[in-house]
Structure 1
């Protein structure tokens, strides 16, 4: 039996931890201050610098719902700066509650890149070396983990090359998307971005700088890819390239029948000769009027297109592209006609356009600029991204589309299939156990920070969707996952949990990295003058 003072001291600490977790899980902004943190960190010799003031920006993200203030923000000028900071925190040992989070372009949704009371590493300031393109028989690009994909694209295009797989939005960091997966309409063919990486440089949870690939430190390599930042901070990546086309044929068509819509998509992603990009989205609009679904696309038959009315039906838009160079236009058009002839879309709804490859890939940025000008960008984004097995996609759609969701005016609803065979099962990314599965993304936004009712409505819809999946036995997986208990995380990883936990114990033994995911709590101890006990 321990002395009463020790027991009371321990109870007080446990009480504090419980209070801390309640505040964290409720999304309340807070600053957990350790009076020793600033003084100890100020002793570090860095090429960049640590800031302890005006750091509120590091407590915000794209989701705009969670705000956790750090104690400091690191602006690194080298990988050595990140290594020194993480190593310093590691060497402080389990007595310190200090943790470290890498922040890319701030596009996390639920505080995943925040570090309550800890250190946030502002990755975009990492410029160890410039982005370097290596042409040849097997071209690749070496890029900083803090580099934006748009800059990787621009540099690669100077050599007539480009990465194979993308996200829909290019103003994200290399390290950020590789820590998740990186999915867009090219993933059915090339796999996610994590399937197109040759080599990584990583700073582990002990501060070690490690190069890894399929042949060198392979366990760390596969762990970090899709690893949610739990095993290391990606400071550099070697990414596969391919010859870049100059132009893109961009096509959108509409369906009113969900079965035809999904079967056509599944047929297209199974073909050897098919489109280069395939995505679908859902239009739930009870007014019968269609607004922005076709943007500046040109109708093949303007008269029929002008007479089309949805009659309040739920519609499904299939979006496809075919890459080409100007001297290949005729052949490209023939291939497109052949592919379109196999599809069962509503004939009057064929819209198409021709744009540059760059213009197509950076298409979402155009919308961003417009939304920013209207004050509609920095608002809450209660997004929900799910991976649904193909065998249950009809059950899912029947209940969710039109019942739980009655409108899609607050943001796009994406729905398109992916091929499991294009994903490497050695990575940490978790996907459904079927060859074909669907990404279903509910990309809603609340009109303003003050519109509490709109945000609550979106969150309740998300809960209803998740509750339905659970009750219906749909073995879906969350993409960009968010859970609040270890039991939920274990269920998410399933059979992969033991591997995930083992890697954490090896590469981040004190659970210093990426605390915002709330998968592992940093190990801490309490002390008395003569004794020490793990809490």
Structure 2
């Protein structure tokens, strides 16, 4: 039933009259196409059907919708949806209204939702903008953001609501640490500009706030001089302790712009959809190594360069590799444009879509593991659970980052150690067996709990309020107070199930 019909059933003629008079009434859609798109996400696991979808053509449309809900005796929930890349229905609104943020971008094809300041080295961008579009727009001025996610077809508002992490995080911090200012529509429907110095409580609440306090309509992103090309080295390890020691060494010294790591199993292809790094000539060599060791760890490091440093970059890479203890003969190199490197996952996406393998369930699990327990995690999860069960069907990421670049005033939570590891179990499955992988994820979480590994979920998903309280830990009271301040009727982002969990 449409949201208008639902209100009319409330026997409140005044409410019916008010929604009929709303300016956004014509921008609410109830058709199967709009409802269907907003009822699912990249995860393809959760389905929640909204009553309507708002296709705004201005910020005022969103404000009007939220203010109206606040005025209702029985308010409806509102969820902002960007590119729909969540995995557990986080951008859905059961019986509520989903705001299609991409509709704003479609109304602004003249590019005025991305404005670059070369004098201030920042870009003001709409919250609905994709990071790939931000990259292309800033490169026209020889500039680029410094912190990225591995996949660029995500919205600015979406990643800032979580954190936005990748191999640059150890150096520049997550994307939320590189925001100077934001425009936000709160859960009250108020439009507020916030920064570290202005409306700072809202600023810190929204960054990593999972959409609970406001909808990001624009953000001022820090920029720096953009490189032109990258040297991308991948080195292989059979010993996890040596692998992590080398990773931690590299993030402790100067000269590196990107570091990630991944895990290869002897029952999976040497290349995966996310990173086809190895040439056919090397695949048989690596397959033999996998048969010998069962598990091999890959260390990826990247050095940026441009015309000024082209003659010295090879020597700099050699110096970075000195003292590393990877398996002799198993170091590989690529030279790519900066854009091709940042946008590498897109090629894998296009390939999977051409084979009909993209719109499948993705039971992902993303974790932050404290450095002090990463060896235990490897033994209990990578070696025991995952390798023993031989079910993993996607990239397995593991790489360290430093807490010094994270601001504890922000809503996002991390382990209480100076160095922690980002772990991504990025599974894909058929529609018939995703539950098996989800059960494996639950087994991993139970192992961490039994072993006393004080991990934190990234892109978190919990089913009970008690689990959310445990997740936020010492930040829970602040999180609650901010919710009461900026969204007292608890309208926003119900799909996260934080304040509406069982």
What is the TM-score when the length of structure 1 is the normalising length? 0.86
Q: How does 1:260-279 map to 2 (within 5 A)?
A: 260-273=242-255, 275-279=256-260
Greater radius of gyration (CA): 1
Conserved? CA contact 2:243–2:299, under 8 Å:
yes
Q: Secondary structure at the match of 2:44?
A: coil
Q: Secondary structure at the match of 2:499?
A: coil
| CA deviations over 1:104-139 (Å, ceiling 9, x no partner) | 100111111000000000011114642000002x40
Is 1:35–2:6 an aligned residue pair? yes
| CA deviations over 1:439-486 (Å, ceiling 9, x no partner) | 11100011x32x2xx212101110110000111111100000011111
Q: How does 1:369-384 map to 2 (within 5 A)?
A: 369-384=350-365
Conserved? CA contact 1:37–1:71, under 8 Å:
no
Q: By how many angstroms is 1:295 displaced?
A: 2.9
Q: Which residue among 452, 461, 469 is the counterpart of 2:448? A: 469
| CA deviations over 1:419-458 (Å, ceiling 9, x no partner) | 0001011100000000000011100011x32x2xx21210
Distance (Å, rounded) in 2 between the aligned partners of 1:67 and 1:372 = 21
Q: By how many angstroms is 1:320 displaced?
A: 1.1
Q: Secondary structure at the match of 1:329?
A: coil
Conserved? CA contact 2:180–2:222, under 8 Å:
yes
Distance (Å, rounded) in 2 between the aligned partners of 1:205 and 1:260 = 48
Aligned to 1:346: 327
Aligned to 1:492: 471
Aligned to 2:61: 81
Conserved? CA contact 2:206–2:212, under 8 Å:
yes
Is 1:317–2:295 an aligned residue pair? no
Conserved? CA contact 1:252–1:294, under 8 Å:
no
Aligned to 2:124: 142
Conserved? CA contact 1:31–1:116, under 8 Å:
no
Q: Secondary structure at the match of 2:440?
A: helix
Q: How many positions carry a matched residue from both structures?
A: 483
Conserved? CA contact 2:392–2:437, under 8 Å:
no
Relative to 1, partners in 2 of residues 1:509 and 1:63: Cα closer, same or farther, differing over 3 Å? Answer: same
Q: By how many angstroms is 1:520 displaced?
A: 1.1
Conserved? CA contact 1:47–1:78, under 8 Å:
no
Distance (Å, rounded) in 2 between the aligned partners of 1:384 and 1:400 = 12
Q: Which residue among 29, 45, 66 is the counterpart of 2:23? A: 45
Aligned to 1:177: 159
| CA deviations over 1:12-36 (Å, ceiling 9, x no partner) | xxxxxxxxxxxxxxxxxx9999621
Q: How does 1:180-259 map to 2 (within 5 A)?
A: 180-259=162-241
What is the TM-score when the length of structure 2 is the normalising length? 0.92
Conserved? CA contact 1:140–1:239, under 8 Å:
yes
Q: By how many angstroms is 1:102 displaced?
A: 0.3
| CA deviations over 1:496-533 (Å, ceiling 9, x no partner) | 000000000000000000000111139xxxxxxxxxxx
Conserved? CA contact 2:270–2:278, under 8 Å:
no
| CA deviations over 1:84-105 (Å, ceiling 9, x no partner) | 1111111113x23x10000010
Distance (Å, rounded) in 2 between the aligned partners of 1:307 and 1:461 = 25
Is 1:483–2:454 an aligned residue pair? no
Distance (Å, rounded) in 2 between the aligned partners of 1:498 and 1:151 = 37
Q: Secondary structure at the match of 2:346?
A: helix
Conserved? CA contact 2:266–2:295, under 8 Å:
yes
Conserved? CA contact 1:48–1:81, under 8 Å:
no
Distance (Å, rounded) in 2 between the aligned partners of 1:381 and 1:521 = 24
Distance (Å, rounded) in 1 between the aligned partners of 2:8 and 2:127 = 26
Distance (Å, rounded) in 1 between the aligned partners of 2:434 and 2:26 = 39
Aligned to 1:17: none
Distance (Å, rounded) in 2 between the aligned partners of 1:303 and 1:379 = 27
Relative to 1, partners in 2 of residues 1:84 and 1:347: Cα closer, same or farther, differing over 3 Å? Answer: same
Q: By how many angstroms is 1:313 displaced?
A: 2.1
Q: Secondary structure at the match of 1:386?
A: strand
Q: Which residue among 479, 484, 487 is the counterpart of 1:505? A: 484
Distance (Å, rounded) in 2 between the aligned partners of 1:140 and 1:48 = 36
Q: By how many angstroms is 1:48 displaced?
A: 7.2
Structure 2, unaligned runs of 5 or more = 10-15
Distance (Å, rounded) in 2 between the aligned partners of 1:474 and 1:306 = 32
Aligned to 2:12: none
Q: By how many angstroms is 1:290 displaced?
A: 3.4
Q: Secondary structure at the match of 1:181?
A: coil
Is 1:283–2:274 an aligned residue pair? no
